[in-house]
A = this chain, B = another copy of it.
Amino acid sequence: MIYVCNTITRQGADMAHDHASDCPSCQEPAAAFSRHDHAHCAQDVLERADGLVAQSGARLTPVRRRVLEILLEEHRAMGAYDVLKRLAAEGYGNQPPVAYRALEFLVEQGLAHRIRRLNAFAACMHPGEAHAPAFLICRNCNIVAEAPAAAVRKALDAAADMLGFLVERSTVEALGLCPACRDQAA
Contact = CB atoms under 8 A, between A and B. Distances in A.
Given A116-B117, A168-B139, A176 B160 contact: yes
Given A166-B182, A168-B177, 12 more contacts: A33-B163, A134-B156, A136-B165, A147-B159, A147-B162, A151-B158, A152-B156, A160-B174, A169-B176, A170-B174, A171-B174, A172-B172
Interface string A138-173: 110000010111011011101110111111111111
Interface residues of A, number: 42
A32 B163 contact: yes
Interface of A: 1-2, 31-33, 116-117, 134, 136, 138-139, 145, 147-149, 151-152, 154-156, 158-160, 162-179, 182
A142 to B, nearest CB: 13
Contacts of A168: 139, 174-177
Contact of A145 (B2, B117, B165, B178): B165
Contacts of A163: 2, 31-33, 136, 145, 147, 179
29 contacts: A2-B162, A2-B163, A33-B164, A33-B165, A116-B171, A116-B173, A117-B171, A134-B159, A136-B165, A145-B163, A145-B165, A147-B159, A147-B160, A147-B163, A147-B165, A148-B159, A151-B158, A154-B155, A160-B174, A164-B182, A165-B174, A165-B176, A165-B179, A165-B182, A170-B172, A170-B173, A170-B175, A171-B174, A171-B175
A33 to B, nearest CB: 7
A116 to B, nearest CB: 4
Contacts of A164: 31-33, 178-179, 182
A165 B156 CA distance: 21
A120 B181 CA distance: 30
